[in-house]
Amino acid sequence: MSSRISSTQPLTVAVVEDNAELCNSLRGILDSTEGMACVAVCGSGEEALGTLPRLKPHVILMDINLPGMSGVECVRGLVELIPKTLILMLTIRSNIDAVFSSLQAGACGYLHKPVHAADLLSSVREVVAGGSPMSAAIARKVVQSFKIQPAARAMNEISLLLTERERTVLEYLAEGYIYKEIAEEMKVSWHTVHNHIRHIYEKLHVRSRSQAVAKFRGE
């Protein structure tokens, strides 16, 4: 457990969630756990910003889908007001953009609903101890996103270097088309395709089709 929390004081947790039934369930789990206490339940981001800075809970469980202000916006505001408080996202959304937006805003972990009581409590303890708990499904998506990033970065670089027609030719090359087939698809001459490919090689600093395709794929 973090050195800023005394072993004799309860671990204070707040919940920001607009589902009243879920709020009551989370409060019950926290209050019935030795060494923990639910100090506040807020039904909106606006309420959280008005209430939680005064209470300074150790941990906040934050839903991303809130009425009015979004959970991400609320996280961003709370991080500025109570920077020592740790925030765990608790949500049904596993969209990778939502995950990264939350983490970039200042959240320390991301749990997928529904979450079992034991997993919830262990995650609260883990984040206080310096960890960044994530549900398995969320962690898998994060790992997968890193796998595709090299290709995405390569495509961004290629988009800046090549013209639209050159990018189209390169895409056909990556799909295995030969020069004649590319010319037919693009309704241009074989000569035009050859010129496009020569320019592609020059701009990408490659000498062969395989090297150009490898750059296209981020390999």
Q: What is the mean pLDDT of residues 170-176?
A: 89
Quick check: 196 pLDDT over 90? Answer: yes
Which of these ranges, 27-36, 86-95, 187-196, has the smallest mean pLDDT? 86-95
Domain ranges of the chain: 11-141, 162-216
Report whether pLDDT(174) > 80. yes
Is a pLDDT exceeding 50 seen at residue 2?
A: no
pLDDT value at position 140?
75
Q: Which residues contact 78 (CB under 8 A, 6 or more apart)?
A: 48, 49, 52, 53, 60, 85, 87, 106
The CATH number fitting domain 162-216, selected from 1.10.357.10, 1.20.1090.10, 1.10.10.10, 1.10.10.60: 1.10.10.10
- 101-129 mean pLDDT: 91
Average pLDDT (162-167) is 86
Q: Answer whether 11-141 and 162-216 agree in fold.
A: no
pLDDT reading at 189 higher than 90 = yes
Angle at 77 between CA 75 and CA 80, to 5 degrees: 105
Place of tokens 């800046």: 160
pLDDT at 101 over 60: yes
- In the chain, the percentage of residues whose pLDDT exceeds 90 is 53
Q: Mean of the per-residue pLDDT values for the chain?
A: 86
- Write out pLDDT tens, residues 121-148: 999 999 999 998 987 777 777 776 666 5
Tell me yes or no: is domain 11-141 CATH 3.40.630.40. no
- Cβ-based neighbours of 205, under 8 Å, separated by 6 or more: none
Structure tokens at 160: 């800046």
